[in-house]
Structures are given as structure tokens and as C-alpha cells.
Chains A and B, each alone.
Chain A
Amino acid sequence: MNRNGPVALVFHTLFLAFLLAPILVVCVVAFTSQGYLSLPTEGLSLRWFKAIGDNPEFARAFRDSLLLGAVSSTIAVAFSVPAALAIARHQFRGREAITALFLSPLMVPHIVLGIAFLRFFTQIGLGGTFAGLVLSHVVIILPFALRLILAASTGMDRSIENAAASLGATSWTTFRRVTLPLILPGVASGWVLAFINSFDEVTMTVFIASPETTTLPVRLFLYIQDNIDPLVAAVSASLIFMTVAAMLVLDRLYGLERLLVGRGQE
């Protein structure tokens, strides 16, 4: 394999610095001991992390975000598994169109979906409710779950299922005892990717969240629009630390590249 030259390495270093700079700045500013935005030149302090505790709305938004992510990814996976099995294993009229429909939320800007859901939920009386948030998140994260489950079900050896059927297993038993365990890695990673996308979503959610029911990114966004202080840096830093921890676990378990590039088992 060829080596990178010095120019390439300088470029690479600058590129990584560009990517990391804003993230590191947030983490460093969060530890300031001053009452205003500043680099912690006079010693590190945890006062702004403690201050998060004095603002229960952040804690509540965090809890709502976790719950929303968990519920909506579970529902999205439940809808995706049968759809993925249909698309992966059957040749039928409209198969391409159905696949395109299921992946279409990826093509619609989230700002448009936010407006569409705001209109829809206000008309049917779900405006500002947790149920509304769940339903809208299911739609936007379903493509992510579907893609990974689709990749897992396509690569599966069907003769094992046929063996189970020929030994007298009902189709439900075959699904539960043979198919599901075989596609489980795809299902699990689909769930995780769906959860992350739900947890990070802000553009669409800002339209349909209400002051009582909102997510952490939306709460953070609205707060930043009014003023930027060390408190939001501390909240953001906590989010970044949690994401990095989750990322390292995911990388170990599944491989970040595989999760993001979504190439299935290779």
C-alpha cells in the first residue's frame, strides 16, 4: 500500500482540527469557572454542570428524548421487519414503488415534514402531544431501520427456514425461532440507528413540540436562540460525552463504518 506524503498528512491534520475544533471548544468552555462564556484559564470548575440540575426543564427534556427515541424506534422496527421480509424475499407488482415510498422520508426536507405534521396534528387534535411526536418520529426513522433489516434479510440462507417448515414448524414458529434470530443483528443495529436519528432530530421536532412536551435538542435550540451562556455549553458537553461513549460501544459491537455506510454484512 502506498504511503501518504507530507502534504497529505498536513492536509489530514488540518482537516481533523477543523472537524474537532467546535466540538472541543464546547467541551472546554463548559468547564469555565466564570459566570460568562470564556475559556477556563483560571482553573476548571463543574459549576455549570451543577447548574443543569437547577434547570429541571433540561432534565425533563432529556428524559422525554430518551423515551421518545426508545418508543419510536421500537415501533419503527416492528413495522420494518415484515416490510423488509416482503421486499427482500418476494417478487411482486409494485415492489420498487413500495420500497421507494418507505425510503422517501429521506428525500423530504425535515422542515417540510415539520410543517406538514404541524398542520396535520393540529387538524386531528394531536398538536403538541407526546403521541404526535412518536408518530412523526416513526415516519422519519423508519427508513434507517428498514435499510439495515433489509440488508440482513437479503443475505439470509432460506434453506434453514425450509428445513424448519419441513420438520412441521408453523410459519409463526419458524419466524420466531429461525428467521428472527438470524436477522437479529440487523434488527438491533437498525433499532440503534433509528434511536440515534430520533434523539438528534431538531428541525422537524421544533414545529410539533410544545413547551410541556419537548426534546433535549429542541430545548437547547430554543435556549440558544435567546442567549448563549456556559449553561448551554455544559448541556451540550454532556450530550457530546454521552454520544462519544455510545459511539465507542457501537464501534466495538458493530463497527461504526458498517452502521453508517450501511453495507450490511461484508
Chain B
Amino acid sequence: MTAVDAHKSLIDSPDAAADSAPPPRPERRPLAPYLLSLPALALFAVLLLVPLVMTGLLSLNSFGFYTGIQDVWQLGNYIDIVTDDYFHEIFLRTFRIAVVVTLLCAVLGAPEAYILRRMRSPWRGLCLLIVLGPLLISVVSRTLGWALLFGSTGIINTALMAVGLIATPIEFMYTETGVIIALTHVLVPFMVLSVWASLQRLDPQVENAALSLGAKPFTVLRRVVLPQVVPGILSGSIIVFALAASAFATPAIIGGRRLKVAATLAYDEFLNTLNWPLGAAIAILLLLANIVIIVGCNRLVERRYKQVFE
């Protein structure tokens, strides 16, 4: 899922590329830009806005097992989700997984980006390829690898038991631990990318200046490097959190039916229970939560670190 690495530049600044351009000259043909963007606008109006609005309307319909989808308008599905403990548990679990995955990605990805930057030329390119490469490999293949490692007769358990560290296999499949490990693996490249981008703006001479003024290496890291990369960590965290909260393939394979998260719940309502209105309501809630978190955190980060983003 290279899918949302572009979130990043979206979050850094909405159109960084366009901002650095020389100011466009006065228009000779004021209609030209509208005509040029008209095809894509029409496409998006029909294929993005209409389906989303239809999903919103669908979420207001009701559903009966014998009657199917009823064309009535009511908030029953939302009330069900808000009042039912079953849904609370799933949404809470989704949130918990996303938070832990985000923290793990920050703790692992940020130091790795810093280490990568300090590597020498041929190694740096090679390691960067290894770190970013998985983004291009299908998420299904990557998760399959974890399923192979995790099983009760999987490689991790076999190895741990052979060494004698554990007597009985650890349960990774169908557990939150398993989902968290696999999701961290899938999403950590986004964090490295984001921190890497913010490190590019850091002048290595500043670190050398601090060292030459007698600062200890750890002090340099804490007082000079960290403040500069915090915006990168924060925007990386927004991406990772949003992707982890709406992740589907990895929780579906590792968590299975037994450990549902919001996305797999919506999938089951749609394709197994066939309660489309309820599935649509879950999707709409997921979409709203996503937008609130991305836009909200983004505003916060940009206001707090205005000087870094310039």
C-alpha cells in the first residue's frame, strides 16, 4: 500500500510545488484554467462525490433480514452503533491498535531515519531501498509473511521453543499483538519517509557547531536534532494513525473473524450479513473520524511548528 505516502506532502503543505513557482502572470484567458481542469472535475464529481453522498444516504436506510433495504430515512444505524457494546468494543480496539502502532512506528522509524542519514554513500542508497522497497510490495504478500512467521507451528514459535525460551507456543494469530506487529511492519516505512524528509532540511553543520561548542552527542541529539525532526515525526504519525485505523487487509488476515476492527466489521456487514445500511454507517463514521483527525492534527502541527514549515 503505497497508497497514502502522498498524504505526506499533502500534510507538509497542500501544494508545496505550486507555492515555490514564480507568481503566475495576469490572465489573458481567464477561462483557460477552468477548461483545463474541467474533465478531471467532472470525473471527480461523478465518481467521488456522488458515490460518497449515496453512501451517506444509504446509511440512513433501514434493513430487515426478510425485507432487505428499506427506503426510509432514520438514524437507527447510528443509534445502534453508539449504544451497542459490541460496536464500542470494536471501535475501541481499532483505536487502541492504531495508537500503539503509531507509537511503535515513531519509536522505530525516527531513529532509523536519523541513522540512515548518517550512513555513507553506497550503503545509504542500498539501505534506503530496503526500507522503502516494501511500500511497493503488495500488502497481502507482506502480511502473508507474518502469518507464516506467527502460526503455532510457525517459525517464531518453533525457534523460541527450540532455544527453550518458551514451553508452549505464543498466540500471535487472531490476537491484537499479532495485528500490531504486522501493521507496524506495513506502516513504518511511511514514518521513515516523513522523518527523512524533515531531516533533509537539517544542516549537518549545525550539529558540528554544537559539538565544537562542547555539547555531548546525546545533548546534540536532544537539543539540536530532535526539535528539528518533531514536525516530521508528527506528520508521519498522522499518516500512520489514519492508515492503521482504517487498515483492512492486515487485520483481516492476522485477526480473522475472531478479532474484528472497524474496517473488517464494515466488510462483514456488507459482504456476509448483507446489512448494507449498517455497513455504510460504519464507513461514514470511519470517514468522519479520519477527516477530523487528519485535518485537526494537521492544523495543530502547522500552528505549533509554523517556523519550521515556513
Chain B residues whose C-beta falls within 8 Å of the C-beta of A240 in the assembled complex? 137, 141
For window 151-175 of A, CB contacts with B under 8 Å fall at 151, 154-155
Chain B residues whose C-beta falls within 8 Å of the C-beta of A12 in the assembled complex? 112, 115-116, 127
Chain B residues whose C-beta falls within 8 Å of the C-beta of A216 in the assembled complex? 138
Chain B residues whose C-beta falls within 8 Å of the C-beta of A95 in the assembled complex? 33
Q: Are A19 and B185 in contact (CB under 8 A)?
A: yes
Chain B residues whose C-beta falls within 8 Å of the C-beta of A118 in the assembled complex? 270
**B139 touches which one: A111, A200, A207 (CB < 8 A)?**
A200
Q: Does A89 have its Cβ within 8 Å of any Cβ on chain B?
A: yes
Chain A residues whose C-beta falls within 8 Å of the C-beta of B208 in the assembled complex? 2
Contact with A along B251-278 (1 / 0, CB 8 A): 0110000000001001100110000100
Q: Are B43 and A139 in contact (CB under 8 A)?
A: yes
Q: Are A243 and B136 in contact (CB under 8 A)?
A: yes
Q: Are A110 and B27 in contact (CB under 8 A)?
A: no
CA distance A100 to B138 in the complex (A): 27
For window 20-70 of B, CB contacts with A under 8 Å fall at 20-21, 23-24, 27, 30, 32-34, 36-37, 39-41, 43-44, 47-48, 50-52, 54-55, 58
Chain B residues whose C-beta falls within 8 Å of the C-beta of A44 in the assembled complex? none
Q: Does A143 have its Cβ within 8 Å of any Cβ on chain B?
A: yes
Which residue of A21, A112, A257 has the most chain B CB atoms within 10 A of its CB atom? Answer: A112
Q: Are B253 and A224 in contact (CB under 8 A)?
A: yes
Closest approach, in angstroms, between the C-beta of A176 and any C-beta of chain B?
15
**B112 touches which one: A11, A39, A256 (CB < 8 A)?**
A11
Q: Closest chain B residue to A81 by CB distance? A: B36
Chain A residues whose C-beta falls within 8 Å of the C-beta of B4 in the assembled complex? 106
CA distance A263 to B204 in the complex (A): 20
Q: Are B246 and A88 in contact (CB under 8 A)?
A: no
Chain B residues whose C-beta falls within 8 Å of the C-beta of A200 in the assembled complex? 1-3, 136-139
CA distance A95 to B48 in the complex (A): 19
Chain A residues whose C-beta falls within 8 Å of the C-beta of B271 in the assembled complex? 207
Closest approach, in angstroms, between the C-beta of A186 and any C-beta of chain B?
10
Q: Closest chain A residue to B137 by CB distance? A: A243
Q: How large is the interface on B (under 10, 10 to 19, 20 to 34, 35 or more residues)?
A: 35 or more
Closest approach, in angstroms, between the C-beta of A5 and any C-beta of chain B?
8
Which residue of B27, B30, B270, B283 has the most chain A CB atoms within 10 A of its CB atom? Answer: B283
Chain B residues whose C-beta falls within 8 Å of the C-beta of A212 in the assembled complex? none
Q: Does B207 have its Cβ within 8 Å of any Cβ on chain A?
A: yes
Chain A residues whose C-beta falls within 8 Å of the C-beta of B3 in the assembled complex? 106, 110, 140, 197, 200-201
Q: Are B270 and A79 in contact (CB under 8 A)?
A: no
Q: Does A254 have its Cβ within 8 Å of any Cβ on chain B?
A: no
Known: A92-B27, A239-B141. 10 other contacts (CB 8 A): A19-B185, A88-B18, A115-B279, A138-B47, A143-B6, A144-B6, A147-B9, A154-B17, A203-B1, A243-B137
Residues in chain B within 8 A of chain A (CB atoms):
1-10, 14-15, 17-18, 20-21, 23-24, 27, 30, 32-34, 36-37, 39-41, 43-44, 47-48, 50-52, 54-55, 58, 108, 111-112, 115-116, 118-120, 127-149, 151, 155, 182, 185, 188-189, 193, 196-197, 204, 207-208, 211, 242, 245-246, 248-249, 252-253, 263, 266-267, 270-271, 276, 279-280, 283-284, 286-287, 290-291, 294
Pairs across A and B, CB under 8 Å, 7 listed: A79-B39, A92-B34, A108-B290, A115-B55, A202-B138, A206-B248, A220-B140
Residues in chain A within 8 A of chain B (CB atoms):
1-4, 8-9, 11-12, 15-16, 18-26, 29, 37, 39, 79-80, 82-83, 85-92, 95-96, 98-113, 115-120, 123, 135-136, 138-140, 142-144, 147, 150-151, 154-155, 193, 196-197, 199-203, 206-207, 216-217, 220-221, 224-225, 228, 232-233, 236, 239-240, 243-244, 246-247, 251, 256-257, 260-264
